C-alpha cells in the first residue's frame, strides 16, 4: 500500500509542475514490462522479440559504416551472448581504419553466428532460488574456467592487484565456479 501512496504523491507533484501523463502510458502491476528498450520478465532482463527479429533479418554489411552500425545494434545486447568478443572479432577487423573493407567467409560466418546467438540469447537476472546470475554469460562455457580460476582463487598472492568494488562480484564468480564443479549447474 505504501508504494501506491508514494506513487500517487509523485504523480501529484508532476501534475502540479505541469507535466501530463497519457493514460495509454500508465501500466499497473505486471510480470512483464518494456523499459528503455529492454524487456523485463519476472525480474529478468531479456532481448525484446522485435529486436531479435530485426537483428536476425539483417543483411550482411557492404561497407565499413554498415558493419559499424550492425555491431552497434548487436553490441548493445553483448552481455546476453557468451563469448561475444571472440565471435565478432572478424567483424571488427573490417572496420579498422588501416584495413580495406573485404567481406570474406570468416566475416560471413561470424555475422551468421552472432545473429544465431542473438536469437538464442540468455535472459539475465535472479534465478528461482534468488541468486544473482549476471555472470551467466561469463560462466556458460567450461573453457573460460581456467581464465577465471586465478581470479577466483587469488593466485596473485601478496602482489594481487586491488579489486575494490569488483571483490563481491569475484566472490560470486568463485562460488558459482565451485557449485558448478560439484554438479549443481545453478544458473547455467
Give residue-wise pLDDT tens across range 89-109. 999 999 998 988 889 999 999
Mean pLDDT, rounded, for 129-154: 44
Structural domain range at position 95: 49-119
Q: Cα dihedral sign for 24, 25, 30, 31?
A: positive
In a domain, 161, yes or no: yes
In angstroms, the CA 61 to CA 72 distance is 13
Q: What is the DSSP string of 130-168?
A: S-B-TTHHHHS-GGGHHHHHHHHHTTTGGGPPP-GGGHH
pLDDT at 153 over 50: no
Task: Give the pTM.
Answer: 0.54
In a domain, 71, yes or no: yes
Among 119, 151, 167, the domain boundary falls at: 119
Q: Are residues 107 and 56 in the same domain?
A: yes
Q: What percent of the chain has pLDDT over 70?
A: 64
Mean pLDDT, rounded, for 48-69: 91
pLDDT for residue 106: 94
pLDDT at 112 over 90: yes
In a domain, 176, yes or no: yes
Residue showing cell 531479435? 52
Among 119, 149, 168, the domain boundary falls at: 119
Mean pLDDT, rounded, for 43-65: 88
Q: Are residues 141 and 114 in the same domain?
A: no
In a domain, 1, yes or no: no
Q: Are residues 99 and 148 in the same domain?
A: no
pLDDT at 186 over 50: no
pLDDT for residue 88: 92
Q: What percent of the chain has pLDDT over 90?
A: 21
In a domain, 164, yes or no: yes
* Domain count for the chain: 2
pLDDT at 110 over 90: yes
Q: Which residue has the higher pLDDT, 37 or 132?
A: 37
In a domain, 92, yes or no: yes
Amino acid at each position: 500500500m505504501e508504494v501506491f501512496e508514494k506513487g500517487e504523491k509523485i504523480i501529484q507533484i508532476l501534475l502540479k509542475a505541469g507535466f501530463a501523463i497519457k493514460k495509454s502510458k500508465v501500466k499497473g502491476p505486471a510480470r512483464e514490462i518494456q523499459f528503455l528498450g529492454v524487456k523485463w520478465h519476472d525480474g529478468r532482463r531479456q532481448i525484446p522479440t522485435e529486436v531479435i527479429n530485426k537483428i536476425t533479418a539483417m543483411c550482411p554489411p557492404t561497407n565499413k559504416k554498415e558493419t559499424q552500425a550492425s555491431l552497434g545494434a548487436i553490441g548493445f545486447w553483448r552481455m546476453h551472448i557468451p563469448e561475444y568478443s571472440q565471435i565478432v572479432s572478424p567483424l571488427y577487423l573490417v572496420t579498422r581504419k588501416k584495413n580495406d573493407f573485404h567481406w570474406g567467409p570468416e566475416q560471413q560466418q561470424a555475422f551468421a553466428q552472432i545473429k544465431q546467438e542473438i536469437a538464442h540469447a540468455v535472459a539475465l537476472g535472479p534465478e528461482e532460488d534468488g541468486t544473482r546470475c549476471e555472470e551467466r554469460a561469463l560462466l556458460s562455457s567450461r573453457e573460460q574456467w581456467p581464465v577465471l580460476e586465478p581470479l577466483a582463487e587469488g593466485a596473485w598472492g601478496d602482489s594481487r592487484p586491488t579489486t575494490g568494488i569488483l571483490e563481491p562480484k569475484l566472490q560470486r564468480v568463485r562460488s558459482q565456479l565451485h557449485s558448478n564443479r560439484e554438479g549443481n549447474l545453478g544458473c547455467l
